[in-house]
Structure 1
């Protein structure tokens, strides 16, 4: 042993384990003179226990917090995950409610259609089965040939040709690309939709085909299960484009998009039902007794206030307006019940067909979009065209009303006693200076001295500027707001826009002047009509509405809209004076382009210049409109027609562009609503004549009848019994017209006549030209003397039968009334 207690060399190998052990002990303990220490102290143990406990508590806290988070915030998620493993469910779609007009005519309804889909995985297996059968047939044919049947052949079907034939059939039947069908066949999926909303007849043909596919040159019949169908629903709109902007249409997901379909979507949609089935441990559905069905609640039916007869009258006339004056920014019109606020008709032309809403309905615009070759620009133009045709112009757009607005200024002046209806006079020399700025009248020479009724008839700008000045900007703006022109009307249609108006704090003398005669402020048509109704219905501002009631499948009324008075703006007395003044406008020149014999009608035209900067006169754009009501002494309806940017190479005034079409609507609408003409003595003198039935009558008796009606006759043939007549029974002609009577064996083919151009002539000149050409006529419009022909139908140059009736619209083509 060496000094110092070290190990001897020869002992190292034998005691290596002990040496290591000693080394470990030495690392953790202290030795004092060969005596082992007492170990960790009590404080050391406490600290160690504290650390361990802290770790355990931290972990427990984290686990508790996590569990609380799951229970409080992820409960539904984990419940759904658990249910998805334990339960299966099938959605039972609710049937969407129908939409009806006020008379119960169906406007929108849903019907069963189908989704055609393919299971690519199953298709691959079925084609593999065909190939397996091919191999079996090949082997069978080989055995037969070996047995001596030398002509035995296998009836083999090429699966690639089968797939191609199937794809071609589906592509043609479903009207989709064959490449898309083949791409669907190749997908790694068990469910790929080929086409949605397929009609039942077409879906039946497809199923019949895939259950019995025959290939050319083969006697085999192939049935495939990989192509199938699922029931779905499709929305139908039987009236096509009629009232499309009001009704709207549906997204592909079945929910409403635009119009009533969108606004009342929650009522129309109903609630889908569901069948819940239990699953066993292997995910298989358990027997029926373990299922629970929650039936669907079908959507409610919606009844709107629109009357499709009135809607047809309105849309037909606006369509004619568009054809004649080609407004660049479309045209619109609406008819309101002046007493209740119910919308009776509302149209935007050009519109769209909700059965195919993604088709650009205007052929001119569609052609323009098709010419765009850049794909991005093409898609943008198409989207803009869709948006334009879908928008309800009566609700979502504004326009500067022009002189139609003057009814508000006039009403406020009368109500505030700033104007004396019977004794006030207004002098116009053609211009008025406001704050150093000259503002001209439409008649540059001036209207001179005028009564209150005459300033409305003449649509005199200086006179209405004077009324605005008498009111002052505060009072003027108070009435502007009271007529509802600073707020939305609250109509039950989506997308109603707000008006753009000059706020009181920015209104100076010039701004007040411009506002007084209808420039500067931009209103929506629905605002205009609602306010106008308040002017003539006794002063009551109403809330307009398009849905009268909503009825559930049990027949219960779940929602009902009725007359809602927002406030009274003017007195009954002021309203009565305005009705009288506006009837005077129609009866005496100017806006009398809306005059109808036997009816009391009030109205006012408007022509506004769009504010478009410093442009040449030929580049300026205008808005032409006419707003009228009837009967004038007790208004039932208020009607507005507006054309946005009509062709400015033609007369673009509201009295020319819009008033005649308003008159045409009223001519049909008033009798339909139960109002019939009551002729004064003066009306009787000018009353047109309805051609009676004369066929099979004795010639002498027929001539006597025509004489009594102040009509002439022209006889063709030498018989005594009439076998044909022109014009036909029921036609209307002016007094003094001629009826062509065919008798005996006379040729019953009337002589052809070319219609002359009478547009721009006086009535007397037109009468002479048409009579000389061998044509009758009927004049519509103004009962005044100093008027001309604004439109004629048929157009000049048209070849018609002799003594055919030519319809002429007469009135003033100037910006008055």
Structure 2
């Protein structure tokens, strides 16, 4: 019998609906539970951990940076982050307040019994009131941490258990604060260990070492940050339901892994020599756009020294060392009376440029040093017969720009060089001759060698912010015209293209090292905390550009450049050196571009110049190669040439570095005949023995006094002087005035006249940079100014140069 009761049917439908609803709800809950517990488990776990665990980071000690000999250039010292626990501070305050109130009550009741030490001072004396304590604590902390009192007051009034007061606090300051709070019985001040970066050598190699302040970094500090920074540790502690940290047993500490140490290929002593002589060059020639120098091993690519002057103090990176860069920006922007806002912008830009490594981050026209590349390409391609080829230089080369004649001058602008062969063209640095060599090579081959020598790409040096060179393209693009025959002419002697110093010295290394283009590097190795070498840089060949045979011929040709014009190049007695000077018009600079309206005639247009010199030694098997650049020297006295500005600087550098590296001189016959003599020890000897010793060595001498023993001599032992110099022997003590003579003015005179003049004044000399017997030279500098009074026999150092060499 079928049940047709309506109430039963209704109950059935209700049960069905409820079952369906509950099924849907259960499915939704289950799906959400699956989503939270499985799909989004990590996210919710982190949220839970944030609620149940407190985490404090422990900073890893950053690795140190050393020079090749282990001299520290960058180190990390332990400092501290000082924090306050506001909750504990309130409890400390309440406890001390209760003690003060009890003391005051005991005093009122007459039951207070103070204790005194042997000197009669009250032991554990309490302050007058808790307000007085808080005022004293606030003032003490603000003074010691150099923060405002308001900051400390706000910190202790906050909720929670951790408010940071100051980072990078020195240990002695932390010790003072700790002792102060211990004396109060307060436990609410805490300290987290941290590290602070400092640079013991201050501004030495600043553009290479770089710096880091946690947010930005430069130099090696930036490039090798992955190795230097290490891995921070962490302390994780449990929190109760109110968010308070549970006791220490509920915490776990993961120790930090300190960073690895980095060892440079740079030698501190060599770096110092580079920077010292760059400063001398910059000061003497009023360099406007900084100077730089690179010393490198051409066989490996290891950088032995890399300097930019002016440098800056790595411990004080927010301060301009000089106004040089600021004045350069004024010139670029043509703003010599800037507004206050403009001054702020210019100073910020100058600060940023000061941190830039000029050797790798700035381009310039290389000038005649680039003739080394053109010459190497010519020899490699055999486009001329070097034994037969010649070119007539009249001082100007006329090219046609459409129907308009276009004149390009040689540096021997008015007389020209006449007929020159390949070696003459290089030695005399003849622009028209190299224009002809470039023309014979052709734009395609010239361009291919520009690229092959690495000028259209970064060298890959292990430093950040490297730039690379530029030259007009072979094919017209949307933004540039294709290389014209005039561009090719200028490029052949280094005027149309721009390069970086690191690109140029790397390319020149390839010219003299057998033809191999190498990857330069400034870091030798990276060593971890256990002494393991985790990275080692070695010689890396990018490609071979020219043959061994071509490279050998170029070494000989560049040595001939020096020997063929010793006064215009780096010549040092006893050393075989190859080299090339360069002077370029800095047309790529903003102020020059603005002033240079007619680029066919630069006179009166505010032209600036780049003065450079490249050299290597020993010439037959180079162990080092050097590039010096003085960017935009003072041009008013016409002494802006590479041979006048950069060459003397390069000579001074090599004169110190060659002996330092243990590269001993090997004198040829002419040099031996004119070799300087070392002054022997004669003081304390009998006058007869001293005279006999000097006579045997063929050294001239004069005696003063009637004694039998030499009590004083001039020059002193250890000094060097020209072989025809004279030693002055004193057998009696004379007054200072009796021994003094006046130095003559010698600038501009020949070696012979200089020698005769000094001899007449009872003085000696030593020639710097050339043989004392060399003709065609004149004194450029003397170590003591004319009119100065010095002891008789003093050695005057003379620097000679040929004034007519202008390249």
The partner residue of 2:195 within 218, 228, 233 is 233
The partner residue of 1:683 within 671, 675, 681 is 671
CA distance in 1: counterparts of 2:189 and 2:524, whole angstroms: 46
Residue 332 of structure 2 aligns with which residue? none
The correspondence of residues 137-536 of structure 1 with structure 2, limited to 5 A, is 137-144=103-110, 157=128, 169-170=140-141, 173=144, 176=146, 188=158, 191=162, 193-212=164-183, 222=184, 224-252=186-214, 257-279=217-239, 292-362=252-322, 376-377=341-342, 379-435=344-400, 436-444=405-413, 445-505=415-475, 506-536=482-512
Deviations 1:331-364 (CA, angstroms, capped at 9, x unpaired): 1111111111111111111112223323333377
Q: Flag the 1:703–1:571 CA change in 2: closer, same or farther, 3 A.
A: same
CA distance in 2: counterparts of 1:792 and 1:160, whole angstroms: 74
Residue 765 of structure 2 aligns with which residue? 777
CA distance in 1: counterparts of 2:171 and 2:408, whole angstroms: 67
Shift of 1:156: 5.2
Shift of 1:211: 3.9
Quick check: 1:644 aligned with 2:613? Answer: no
Structure 1: gaps of 5 or more residues: 1-37, 148-152, 213-221
Quick check: 1:659 aligned with 2:647? Answer: yes
Quick check: 1:83 aligned with 2:41? Answer: no
Shift of 1:574: 1.1
Cα pair 2:288 2:328 within 8 Å, conserved: no
Which segment drifts farther, 565-574 or 306-315?
Answer: 306-315
Residue 115 of structure 1 aligns with which residue? 81
Cα pair 1:335 1:345 within 8 Å, conserved: yes
CA distance in 1: counterparts of 2:657 and 2:708, whole angstroms: 41
Shift of 1:582: 0.7
Shift of 1:655: 0.9
CA distance in 1: counterparts of 2:512 and 2:170, whole angstroms: 51
CA distance in 1: counterparts of 2:339 and 2:109, whole angstroms: 64
Q: Flag the 1:328–1:169 CA change in 2: closer, same or farther, 3 A.
A: farther
Q: Flag the 1:528–1:120 CA change in 2: closer, same or farther, 3 A.
A: same
Residue 778 of structure 2 aligns with which residue? 788
Cα pair 1:116 1:229 within 8 Å, conserved: yes
Q: Flag the 1:373–1:508 CA change in 2: closer, same or farther, 3 A.
A: closer
Which segment drifts farther, 690-699 or 612-621?
Answer: 612-621
2:727 is paired with a residue whose SS is strand
Q: Flag the 1:365–1:76 CA change in 2: closer, same or farther, 3 A.
A: same
Cα pair 1:548 1:560 within 8 Å, conserved: yes
Cα pair 1:727 1:740 within 8 Å, conserved: yes
Q: Flag the 1:508–1:142 CA change in 2: closer, same or farther, 3 A.
A: same
The partner residue of 1:569 within 522, 533, 545 is 545
CA distance in 2: counterparts of 1:804 and 1:87, whole angstroms: 79
1:515 is paired with a residue whose SS is helix
Cα pair 2:567 2:769 within 8 Å, conserved: no
Deviations 1:731-777 (CA, angstroms, capped at 9, x unpaired): 22223334343433434688555655534443334444545555433
Which segment drifts farther, 636-645 or 123-132?
Answer: 123-132
Quick check: 1:671 aligned with 2:659? Answer: yes
Cα pair 1:458 1:590 within 8 Å, conserved: no
Shift of 1:269: 1.5
Deviations 1:516-564 (CA, angstroms, capped at 9, x unpaired): 0100111111100000001111111111111222222233322222111
Which segment drifts farther, 349-358 or 635-644?
Answer: 349-358
Cα pair 1:607 1:625 within 8 Å, conserved: yes
1:260 is paired with a residue whose SS is helix
Q: Flag the 1:378–1:134 CA change in 2: closer, same or farther, 3 A.
A: farther
Q: Flag the 1:653–1:75 CA change in 2: closer, same or farther, 3 A.
A: farther
Cα pair 2:573 2:770 within 8 Å, conserved: no
1:658 is paired with a residue whose SS is helix
2:47 is paired with a residue whose SS is helix
User: What TM-score does the superposition give when structure 2 sets the normalisation length?
Assistant: 0.84
Deviations 1:705-739 (CA, angstroms, capped at 9, x unpaired): 44555554454444333333333332222233343
CA distance in 2: counterparts of 1:64 and 1:91, whole angstroms: 38
CA distance in 2: counterparts of 1:112 and 1:637, whole angstroms: 40
Q: Flag the 1:180–1:155 CA change in 2: closer, same or farther, 3 A.
A: closer
Shift of 1:493: 0.8
Cα pair 1:123 1:185 within 8 Å, conserved: no
CA distance in 1: counterparts of 2:398 and 2:112, whole angstroms: 117
Cα pair 2:569 2:579 within 8 Å, conserved: no
Q: Flag the 1:264–1:73 CA change in 2: closer, same or farther, 3 A.
A: farther
Cα RMSD, aligned residues only: 3.9
Residue 22 of structure 1 aligns with which residue? none
CA distance in 2: counterparts of 1:266 and 1:143, whole angstroms: 69
Residue 105 of structure 1 aligns with which residue? 71
Deviations 1:459-518 (CA, angstroms, capped at 9, x unpaired): 110000000011010011111111111111111111111212221221111000000010
Residue 117 of structure 2 aligns with which residue? none
1:257 is paired with a residue whose SS is coil
Q: Flag the 1:755–1:355 CA change in 2: closer, same or farther, 3 A.
A: farther
Which segment drifts farther, 354-363 or 182-191?
Answer: 182-191
CA distance in 2: counterparts of 1:495 and 1:564, whole angstroms: 21
CA distance in 1: counterparts of 2:692 and 2:605, whole angstroms: 56
CA distance in 2: counterparts of 1:459 and 1:441, whole angstroms: 9
Which segment drifts farther, 802-811 or 312-321?
Answer: 802-811
CA distance in 2: counterparts of 1:161 and 1:753, whole angstroms: 75
2:517 is paired with a residue whose SS is strand
The correspondence of residues 801-812 of structure 1 with structure 2, limited to 5 A, is 801-812=791-802
Cα pair 1:314 1:345 within 8 Å, conserved: yes
Q: Flag the 1:426–1:302 CA change in 2: closer, same or farther, 3 A.
A: same
Shift of 1:165: 5.3
Shift of 1:679: 0.7
Q: Flag the 1:800–1:349 CA change in 2: closer, same or farther, 3 A.
A: farther
Cα pair 2:764 2:793 within 8 Å, conserved: yes
Deviations 1:634-692 (CA, angstroms, capped at 9, x unpaired): 11111001111112234111111111121122122222223111111111122222222
Q: Flag the 1:332–1:722 CA change in 2: closer, same or farther, 3 A.
A: same
Cα pair 1:131 1:159 within 8 Å, conserved: yes
CA distance in 2: counterparts of 1:442 and 1:339, whole angstroms: 33
The correspondence of residues 602-613 of structure 1 with structure 2, limited to 5 A, is 602-611=578-587, 612-613=592-593
Instruction: Compare CA radii of gyration and give the structure with the larger one.
Output: 1
User: What TM-score does the superposition give when structure 1 sets the normalisation length?
Assistant: 0.83
